[in-house]
Structure 1
């Protein structure tokens, strides 16, 4: 059987949408598919290190960095977030139901060899540096995503 490819653009930085992207990516990889996830704009927040990282930035880029969540553990829900309480309640229910959290889904994605690409243009616009992002990523622009998508039988935008 020929190996198929899946590509996912991760545009959203919402916890529930990030979880959906990683559940789909991990499911496809478990089925033997090659998976590429392309993180752009708000989706880059998923990949940010939780600790503050010193980086030389302009004023506006520094402001963006201060206003955005640092890492998967600090994301809010797209609906019913209630100042962060919705995400906390969701995590409690997920633990009670033995559902993997986002950090665990990300670790599984790395173990399965899912390619994660950070969009360099979005990084520049939002003032996010490579030092601020987790290890194990690739860095590229839209042309790289489009080349991957051209070879894919499924393309998702989340």
Structure 2
């Protein structure tokens, strides 16, 4: 809105300067009036659309969002039930980020407080699966903790 008014003022001033440069002062008032009318019509158009209710999302858009969420959830569950390498690659970073956000503890700021808070919240057994510093390179074929551990971790994160 501010940009529209600023551009309108620049348009009016520009037209007046152009008319004065051309030495034909008969059209200064007419040209400025037309520029002002153009600016006012645009301001009215912009203000008129603010009062209209927002268009409701298309039912297909809602269905697409639900399908994406369902697909992402199914993929997350599959990762939890597969190998430790998948857990370390996909779930551990997500869970560590959610833990940082939920607890307010930043790993980069104070690693000791981050680990202590994690152990207090999850317990030693579950913290092993959330701790971002517990990634192993060699244990890729070991089984992950499974869906029950993921569910328990998410429940504890919700309680924070």
Please indicate the TM-score interval, normalised by the length of the shorter structure. Answer: under 0.3
**TM-score normalised according to structure 2 size:** 0.24
Structure with greater contact order relative to length (CA < 8 Å, sep ≥ 6): 1
Structure 1 or 2: more helix by fraction? 2
TM-score for both structures, normalised by structure 1: 0.24
Instruction: Give 1 or 2: higher strand fraction.
Output: 1
Higher radius of gyration, 1 or 2: 2
